[in-house]
Amino acid sequence: MTDNEILIEKIAALKKEKHAVILAHFYQEAEIQDIADFIGDSLDLSRKSAATDADIIVFAGVHFMAETAKILSPDKKVLLPDLNAGCSLAESCPAGAFKKFREQYPDHIVVSYVNTTAEIKALTDITCTSTNALQIINSIPEDQPIIFAPDRNLGNYLNSLTGRNMVLWNGACHVHEEFSLEKIIELKKEHPQAKLIAHPECPQPIRIVADFIGSTSALLKYTEEDNGSEYIVATESGILHQMKKRNPDKTFIPAPPIDSTCGCNNCKYMKLHTLQKIYESLRDEKFEIKLPADLIEKAKKPIQKMLELST
């Protein structure tokens, strides 16, 4: 047996012994996706966190996702295999600065992306994900002004779809910000039949030339239902594993960033997790996410509101 196969067996035994589940985001390495009990995007993972009856949740994702799981399941032990797995988008919106920003717009309600810290969620009226953001915005009366945080690209995209003029926090995801329009155009010339599919966190120039724009799960669904055979994928490269598994006869090309040795675009935080770290975290029940009860109570309300509106 290989070292990975031995680790996978040990992890499976520990999961059974400790009544644990592993939740993994689509952006994880392929071997982690393959051992997860559930794989999904932020909305799917939020729902699964709220619904699971496991005693322990091992979250192969980034810090805000594990926090969200703890907020929704405060009585469960939530483990993050590497505490350095942060999020550039969440970190672009510090709570103190955002609180002052919000105070400038007292008549606005706050819709914040789930890619935020618990402290930002506590300052939020409704959270959203890229999957349900349009649905959430459309549920709010047109005459109600909105602050949208923290991703300016997603906010701009929603403004263009809805005709609203939401006030946007100036944050962004390092992965989606770094795609190179020039290199993508060259790639399209090399692959004239390929369709460009892009996440709405991408900057506007990328979205303008895209054939389809959607959340991680929407991009995956599109590749399953579309009659094309070749796709340039402008989001974190981890999703290509699921696209290839579900569409073995189709070709998927990672959209190139401005600077990359692999020609792909990886989230340095998502890729911190390994099978070894997952095993050790579950074995020792270490790197537990802990939040004050009052913060959980405040942060849970906007997430629950989102889940209700997304049902």
Structure confidence by residue, pLDDT tens digits, 280-295? 999 999 999 999 999 9
Strands 146-149 and 195-198: unpaired
In which residue ranges of the chain is CATH 3.40.50.10800 found?
3-85+270-290, 89-173+297-310, 179-254
Structure confidence at residue 264 (pLDDT):
58
- How far, rounded to the nearest angstrom, does the alpha carbon of residue 254 sit from its chain's CA centroid? 18
Which fold is adopted by the domain 3-85+270-290? Rossmann fold (3.40.50)
Cα–Cα distance for residue pair 78/58, rounded to 1 Å: 6
Cα–Cα distance for residue pair 289/259, rounded to 1 Å: 34
Structure confidence at residue 260 (pLDDT):
57
Say how many Å lie between the first and final Cα of the chain, rounded. Answer: 44
Structure confidence at residue 263 (pLDDT):
52
179-254 carries CATH number 3.40.50.10800: yes
DSSP per-residue letters across 135-186:
HHHHTS-TTS-EEEESBHHHHHHHHHHH----EE--B--HHHHTB-HHHHHH
Q: For 89-173+297-310, which CATH class? A: alpha beta
Cα–Cα distance for residue pair 93/89, rounded to 1 Å: 7
Entry pTM: 0.91
| Intervals of the chain under pLDDT 50 | none
